[in-house]
Amino acid sequence: MRPVIDIRHIHRVFETDAGYAHVLHDISLSVSPGEFVAVTGPSGSGKSTLMNILGCLDTPTEGVYLLEGLDVAQLTDDELAEVRAERIGFVFQSFNLLPRMSVLDNVMLPLAYADCPRSRRERLAVHALRAAGLPVDHFDHRIGELSGGQMQRVAIARALVNDPAIILADEPTGNLDTATGRAVLDSFHRLQEEEKTIVLITHDPGIAAEADRIVTIRDGRLYHDGTATGSLEREASAIAPAGGQLPIQQKGARS
């Protein structure tokens, strides 16, 4: 099966007043359709730079990025904008919602520049909000009337409204309490069941363990790429015999 994301020997170098900063060093990574991958590492490790490249918000200095088989380097600015609008959904820690607009209008916003009648935009927004788990009676609320968890669900719905193949989430639970963060993670698991590909950036090992794979970056280099413990536990729970649990070590976790 062709990877949705396939980056090969990616380097990213920034020119600064102090000289050149080599932020990413020879990163290679592939993500399969429907996979849930967590990218983790300490602050300054290059996680956000990698996310910007995956989201076609930045370009690598060296290396190849194939997005659904397309060589991103060969796309024009207009084509890149179209890819971001139609194939990638972004979820940010700070939500990036417009406070004076209603929930429904915020979610419809990515469709505003498409040749799409308002009635269809509303239907798509309602479908996305339901998929994100927001109660129907909140659809006409202003953003300022929502809790942090509800705002993040709206942000997820906005990322989903164009039915993208890939969801890129940057610290989506960072501003949330534990219970609310749990609900947001449950939303991502439901999206994975709908065959969405999810790449989530987090510094929290507990959040990373929710994914199928954990990719760890340190000092701009790929340090670890392996199966997440949480993924193994969910798989073991699903196939455990009645009245017992399958020992996790029998699954052969990679390191």
pLDDT at 240: 47
pLDDT at 255: 37
* Token pair recorded at residue 92: 């940010």
Tens digit of pLDDT for each residue in 34-57?
Answer: 999 999 998 889 999 999 999 999
Domain-embedded: residue 16? no
Domain-embedded: residue 72? no
Place of tokens 């729970």: 237
Q: Please state whether 208 falls in left (phi above 0), alpha (psi between -120 and 50) or beta.
A: alpha
The CA distance from 122 to 240, in Å, is: 43
The count of domains in the chain is 1
Domain-embedded: residue 22? no
Domain with 175, as residue range(s), is: 33-59+77-251
pLDDT at 33: 94
Domain-embedded: residue 165? yes
- Report the mean per-residue pLDDT for the chain: 85
Domain-embedded: residue 245? yes
Place of tokens 């929930």: 103
Domain-embedded: residue 48? yes
pLDDT at 225: 82
Higher pLDDT, 212 or 95: 212
pLDDT value at 16 more than 70: yes
Supply the CATH number for residue 53's domain.
3.40.50.300
The CA distance from 83 to 100, in Å, is: 28
Domain-embedded: residue 18? no
Domain-embedded: residue 242? yes
The CA distance from 103 to 158, in Å, is: 9
Tens digit of pLDDT for each residue in 149-165?
Answer: 888 889 889 988 888 88
* Token pair recorded at residue 37: 């991958």
pLDDT at 253: 40
Higher pLDDT, 1 or 4: 4
SS3 string, 11-56, reads EEEEEECCEEEEEEEEEEEEECCCCEEEEECCCCCCHHHHHHHHCC
